[in-house]
Structure 1
Amino acid sequence: RLQATEARLPVLAEEMSLLMLDSRRVIQSIQLMKSLGGGYQAAPVVEKK
């Protein structure tokens, strides 16, 4: 059971990195909207499958 948990660690680390990148993207989008004075609409994000 410990080996199975340890085997998942790299996957969890990659998922955490992806979440951090997504949160940065959202923050930067908000900053861009504020800089442009609001009303900015980005193109829709394509969902991953």
Structure 2
Amino acid sequence: EILEGLKAKNLDDYLNGPFTVVVKESCDGMGDVSEKHGSGPAVPEK
């Protein structure tokens, strides 16, 4: 549900709201999430 919310709303709304931490963690953890689920290449984004 969190990912769907990120897609549906603008990042500005989250940056100005209480979900700032969630957005940062989601962005930083996108590569890790895809690797854990095996839905993406095992290549680090950074």
Q: Is this a same-fold pair by TM over 0.5?
A: no
**Which one has more relative contact order, counting CA pairs under 8 Å at least 6 apart?**
2
More helix by share: 1
Larger radius of gyration: 1
